[in-house]
Amino acid sequence: MVQRGSGRTRLLLVTLLVTSLLLITLDLRGVSLVNSFRTGTQTILKPFQSLGSAIFSPIGNFFGDIANIGQANEKLDQLEAENKRLLEELAEAEDIKGELKQLKDVLDLAGRGGYKVVSAKVIAFDSAGNFEETVTLDIGSSSGVSRDMTVISGRGVVGVVKSVTSRSAIVQLISDPGFRMGVRIAGTQAMGILAGEGSSSFTLELLDARSTVNEGDVLLSRGSTGNRPFPPGLPVGVVTKVEDSIGALTKSATVRAFANLGSQGVVSVILSTKVDDPRDALVPKPPAPTPIPTVTVYLTPSPEPTKKNKSNRENG
Amino acid sequence: MSIYRTSITVSFFVFVFILQSALINQIPFFIGGFSLFLAMTFSWIASTDRAETFAVAFIAGILLDLNPSLEAPVGLWTFTLLLLSYLISLYRESLGDLDERPITAALYLVATTSSAILLYLIVAALLGIHIPPALTAVIDTSGNAIWTLLLSPIYFPLISRLKIRMFSIRSGV
């Protein structure tokens, strides 16, 4: 049922409506007095809001956590996945960084020796099953690689190409028990035969009984006819122990290879050489000694005691 | 409406306004939000005469317009609540005594608060003021309606008793 109001009530309604419309108009026209009301309200409300926040925020957070528990789990999964991805990327970046360093070192060695090389990635290690120490490279005859080419790392000889397909090559490592190569002791003309033993150490047998060998001597490749399989002057290893057997016809020694055969990711295959024999130019430089910090102590002599001080000390 | 009643009404709505700003607005409601202020306004209006209805709508509207977080012009809520209070005043008699009919009271509150929000949005759109996207508006209005409905058994009887007590003190004096 529609109720009819009195004229006074209608007048009140019209007055209030007109007032509200006036306020809207004033605000839309940018009268600052109207806006300052809101600023004043904010000033009044702020302490109440701060108090309310202090009282209610723990409860509000609790309800908020309940409301967002599904989202939190989802976010956690998302962050875990992202963390895993970032760790993988980091590992990959470290791997690439390591390979880049190996590549730089091997290209540096090839540049110093004047070798034309083609770089390759080691894609497989085959040492366990067949008692042969070999690695497989991701390049083959299509990259100019052929049998009996020398494979080097940034530190020295790694092995020799044993067999080749169009896109891969199998390399016999110098640690292979069947591997033999002629070497020369750097700085001398003493020559010997280096034999692999299936581990990181090798055996050196000098050809001349009168030659001498010492611990720390660097071995270089002696070189083959036509520089294949070995060009001369390539670093091979360092003598770690000299065998002193009385009555032996020749001297022998244990050698450690320069190249880290087990963890080589990038190597280069020498396609051709420009320089005949670099002699000892490729001998690795010994690492710079670590400086030992010294401590300097300054001593200042104390002043000689005066007579007055002396007498005071005696009295006191 | 006497000065005493006006001062009581203003004080009450100022208190509710502070309560809304300081506490209710900080509760993370699962759907939309809850306007205790609007619910209290229409609860108050439910048991007043016509002239007082307009006065209460004006007071409540002015307070809502003074909300500092509001970007709409001052007077828009006042205008909206006055229009709605006029419509309520026309048909309130047909609702009967809401204190004795809690379901009708709850539905009345849901209808009036939702209408107030929708009317506010319509008037704002007509004035060319920026309004939220339709989906947000629907979610907020629905959320408010749900909370108004669920909480009405608590606040509607409370406001009725409070109102009787506040105005009976004066009568006693």
ipTM of the complex: 0.85
Interface test with B, best of A12, A13, A53 (most B CBs within 10 A): A13
Q: What is the CATH number of domain B3-171?
A: 1.10.1760
Q: Which helix (H) or strand (E) holds A135?
A: strand A134-137
By CA distance, what is B87's nearest residue in A? A2
CB contact under 8 A, B51 and A45: no
- Note whether A22 contacts B: Cβ–Cβ < 8 A: yes
**Tokens describing residue A7:** 């004229």
B114 CB neighbour count, 10 Å cutoff: 16
By CA distance, what is B93's nearest residue in A? A1
Q: What is the pLDDT of residue B112?
A: 93
- Note whether A37 contacts B: Cβ–Cβ < 8 A: yes
Residues of A within 8 A of B66 (CB-CB) are 37-38, 41
Residues of B within 8 A of A52 (CB-CB) are 21-23, 26
What average pLDDT does the segment A275-292 reach? 74
Q: What is the pLDDT of residue A2?
A: 44
Q: What is the pLDDT of residue A152?
A: 92
Calpha distance A215→A210 (Å, rounded): 17
CB contact under 8 A, A27 and B127: no
Residues of B within 8 A of A48 (CB-CB) are 18, 21-22
Q: What is the pLDDT of residues A157-178, one digit of tens each?
A: 999 998 888 888 889 888 888 8
**pLDDT surpassing 70 at residue A4:** no
- Note whether A36 contacts B: Cβ–Cβ < 8 A: no
Least CB-CB distance to A51: which of B22, B79, B91? B22
Q: What is the pLDDT of residues B135-163, one digit of tens each?
A: 888 888 999 999 999 988 888 888 888 88
Taking the domains of chain B in order of start, what are their residue ranges?
Answer: 3-171
Q: What is the pLDDT of residue A63?
A: 66
Query: What band does A73 get if pLDDT is binned at 50, 70 and 90?
Result: confident
What average pLDDT does the segment A273-278 reach? 75
Q: What is the pLDDT of residue B51?
A: 82
pLDDT, greater one: A58 or B50: B50
pLDDT, greater one: A178 or A3: A178
Residues of B within 8 A of A55 (CB-CB) are 23
CB contact under 8 A, A28 and B58: no
What average pLDDT does the segment A287-291 reach? 69
**pLDDT surpassing 80 at residue B57:** yes
pLDDT above 70: percentage of residues in chain B: 97
CB contact under 8 A, B26 and A57: yes
Query: What band does B77 get if pLDDT is binned at 50, 70 and 90?
Result: very high
CB contact under 8 A, A26 and B74: yes
Interface test with A, best of B21, B84, B86 (most A CBs within 10 A): B21
Query: What band does A128 get if pLDDT is binned at 50, 70 and 90?
Result: very low
Query: What band does A31 get if pLDDT is binned at 50, 70 and 90?
Result: confident
B82 CB neighbour count, 10 Å cutoff: 23
Query: What band does A75 get if pLDDT is binned at 50, 70 and 90?
Result: confident
Q: What is the pLDDT of residues B9-39, one digit of tens each?
A: 899 999 999 888 888 887 777 777 889 999 9
A278 CB neighbour count, 10 Å cutoff: 18
- Note whether A24 contacts B: Cβ–Cβ < 8 A: yes
CB contact under 8 A, A45 and B75: no
Residues 6+ away with beta carbon under 8 Å from A122: A135, A136, A137, A264, A265, A266, A267
Residues of B with CB under 8 A from a CB of A: 18, 21-23, 26-28, 30, 50-51, 54-55, 57-58, 61, 65-68, 70, 73-76, 78-79, 82-83, 86, 89-94, 127
Average pLDDT, chain A: 81
CB contact under 8 A, A23 and B73: yes
pLDDT, greater one: B164 or A11: A11
pLDDT, greater one: A46 or A234: A234
Q: What is the pLDDT of residue A314?
A: 52
Q: What is the pLDDT of residue A130?
A: 56
Least confident among A23-37, A63-77, A170-184? A63-77
pTM: 0.50
| Min Cα separation B81/chain A (Å) | 10
Q: What is the pLDDT of residue A303?
A: 67
Residues of A within 8 A of B68 (CB-CB) are 38-39, 41-42, 45
Residues of A within 8 A of B92 (CB-CB) are 3
For residue A164, the 8-state DSSP code is E
| Placement of tokens 């530190």 in the chain | A155
Query: What band does B172 get if pLDDT is binned at 50, 70 and 90?
Result: very low
CB contact under 8 A, B27 and A12: no
Q: What is the pLDDT of residue B156?
A: 87
Pick from A186, A224, A190, A220: nearest CA to A205? A190
